[in-house]
Every structure is written in C-alpha cells, then in structure tokens.
Amino acid sequence: MSTVDALATAVEDALEDTEQLLARFLAERTAHARTTAPVCGALWTDLGNLVGGKLIRPRLTIAAYLGLGVPTCAPSRPWPPRRSCCTAPCSPTTTCSTTTSADAADPTSSVRPAPG
C-alpha cells in the first residue's frame, strides 16, 4: 500500500469515527433539549439536519493531523484510535513516539501499528 493510500484509508477511518461521534452528540443534545422545551428540540433537530455533505473541512483537518505526524497516545485525540504504535496503554506518563502515515506504509520502518 502506498503512502497516499495509507493516508487516505486513515482519513476515511477517522472521518467515519468523527461522523459517529457527531451523530451521537447531536442525538444526545436533541433528546436533552426536548425535555427542556419542544422548540429547543426542534432547533437541535434542524441543526442535525444541516450536518453532512462532503465534510471537506473535517476531512482536510484530519488529513493534516494524520499526515503531519500524530502522537500515537495523544489523550486529546477526538476519536478512538483504530491503530496505535504504542504497546502500552496510554496514560499521562506513557512516552510514545510520533508516527506518520509514511511510517505505517513503509515496510522498512521500525514504527509498526500494534496488533488489533
């Protein structure tokens, strides 16, 4: 798999995770708003209906984040990582390397995703 293909796959995986997170957030906020006032629930429903399309901005943001090198145990990561180069569980004291999509695609690289 080429570096470009590896990055494209990683971007699509992260975008799928982002869409699921956003859908869950909107559903939770809509449900909560409906208990407050029906008009509030309607506003959240309308907001949820606006989300979608090509999602160019999130796609470019994710591509830049992944393409420029990702701390593999970044606790502020907005989505659960599918792959990690860390074999130890992430914690504030865990020292992790930074990997790029090129590392994952390069068969000679010593940086390898953890199994699973």
Q: How many domains does the chain have?
A: 1
55 torsion bin: left (phi>0), alpha (psi -120 to 50), beta (else):
left
**Residue 73 lies in domain:** 3-103
Pair 62, 15: CB distance under 8 Å: yes
Does residue 72 form part of some domain?
Answer: yes
Digitized pLDDT (tens) for each residue of the chain, 116 residues in all: 888 898 999 999 999 998 999 999 999 999 999 999 999 999 999 999 998 888 899 899 999 988 888 655 554 545 444 444 444 444 444 444 444 444 455 544 444 444 44
Does residue 66 form part of some domain?
Answer: yes
Can you give the pLDDT at residue 105? 52
